[in-house]
Amino acid sequence: MKLNSEFKQDIRASESLNDQRDSYYADVHRRRRKMMRWATTAILVVCSLTIGYRMVQYQIVKQQIAEVNQSVVKVKQDNSNLKQQVTALHDPTYLQQLIREKYMYTKQGEQVYNLPATDPDANR
């Protein structure tokens, strides 16, 4: 009987140690899971912020591209108008008409009468 009681005491002591070891391992796993959750959360936050920042930058660049495209269209139109003006300035009749209108030049013996501009709102 004495043998059985010593064996039972050893088993009970080992069960107590096993319970302590299992509790220790459970604590370690709980801490590791907690740390993994924190690390995952931190990584997701950093990725979300990075993606958000990149999207804002993308929108800014997209807006700048649209503005530059509008500017290019305007400059091309201005360039076309200027080319037409240069072509028209090589025409002697257009040049003579422009000088007469802008600088009030007259031909010899010609009389110019300045008339008041007609305003459609003046009759009201």
| pLDDT of 59 | 97
Structure-block tokens of residue 112: 């110019």
> Is 116 part of any domain?
no
pTM of this structure: 0.52
* Per-residue pLDDT tens listing for the chain (124 residues): 565 777 777 777 788 888 889 999 999 999 999 999 999 999 999 999 999 999 999 999 999 999 999 999 999 999 999 999 999 989 988 888 888 888 878 888 888 777 787 776 655 5
Do the domain assignments include residue 111?
no
Q: Distance (Å, rounded) from C-alpha 57 to C-alpha 65?
A: 12
For 74, the token pair is 């305007």
Q: Residue 19: which domain range? A: 2-105
Q: Is residue 49 part of a domain?
A: yes
CA distances, 21 to each of 16, 17, 18, 27 (Å) = 9, 6, 5, 10
DSSP assigned state of 108: T
105's CB contacts (< 8 A; 6+ apart) are 99
Judge whether 124 lies within some domain.
no
- Domain contains 75: yes
The domain total for the chain is 1
